[in-house]
Every structure is written in C-alpha cells, then in structure tokens.
C-alpha cells in the first residue's frame, strides 16, 4: 500500500483503503484498521468505517463497533444502511432497546433502506 505512492506515484483511492481495511478486519486487526482509517486522507470515511464495523461484528468486538458507530452518526452522512448496520451490532449483542432506538432514529430522520434486487429479478422486470 505504501509503495503505491512512493514507488508507483499512484494516489490511493477509496477502493484501496477499503481493501486494506477489509484485509486487516479479516485478520482480526481491528484496532489497526481503525488507526489506518483515521490516518487516511479520505474526506468521506463512512463507507470504509462500515467495512470495519462489519469486521467488528464478525470478531464480536462490540466496543469498537459502537465507538465507530457513534462517530458515524455524529459526523458522517446520514445513510439508511449505516443505521441498519449499527442496529445489527446491537441485535447481535442482545441489546434490543438500543436496536429499536437506532431503527426509530433512522425512521424519524426519514431514512428508508431499500431492499436489494437480484439480477434475475431485474431481468424478469425487464430492467436489464
């Protein structure tokens, strides 16, 4: 990653940061992933933080996931997927009141998470 700029003069983009955080997360190096994001030059770090929250869920590091979640909700863009991911962290830990509060906060903000569509569904609807 460091050689991208020093050797090849390629500036890392969001995808590169995402790959690095995903690798660190899969290896269980969640704190390193958090530091990596904080030191990044990205303006919008919300997507990369979501990658790390997902890794925190996998490794059951609720403390870090909730710290990142708080930061995202206070400073990040308000996206329905962020609220869904955060509520899933609470659900995994059995914190049902916080789960409900997070979902309610998203609803009060007018955010609605649209369900995904498969390629097959889009083909059947004539959209592809």
More confident residue, 126 or 64: 64
Helices marked H in the chain? 2-6, 14-26, 30-39, 46-58, 62-75, 80-92, 96-108, 119-124
What is the widest separation between alpha-carbon atoms in the chain? Answer: 51
| Radius of gyration from C-alpha coordinates of the chain | 17
Q: Report pLDDT for 81.
A: 84
Q: pLDDT-derived band of residue 117, with 50, 70 and 90 as boundaries?
A: low
Q: pLDDT-derived band of residue 9, with 50, 70 and 90 as boundaries?
A: very high
58 HSE (CA, 13 A, CB side) = 14
């Amino acid at each position: 990653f460091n050689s991208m700029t020093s050797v090849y003069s390629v500036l890392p983009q969001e995808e590169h940061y995402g790959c690095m955080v995903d690798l660190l997360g899969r290896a269980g190096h969640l704190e390193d992933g958090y530091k990596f994001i904080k030191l990044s030059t990205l303006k919008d770090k919300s997507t990369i933080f979501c990658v790390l929250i997902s890794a925190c869920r996998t490794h059951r590091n609720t403390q870090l996931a909730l710290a990142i979640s708080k930061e995202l909700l206070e400073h990040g863009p308000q996206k329905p997927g962020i609220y869904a991911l955060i509520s899933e962290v609470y659900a995994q830990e059995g914190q049902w009141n916080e789960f409900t509060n997070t979902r309610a906060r998203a609803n009060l903000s007018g955010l609605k998470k649209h369900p995904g569509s498969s390629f097959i569904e889009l083909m059947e609807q004539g959209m592809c």
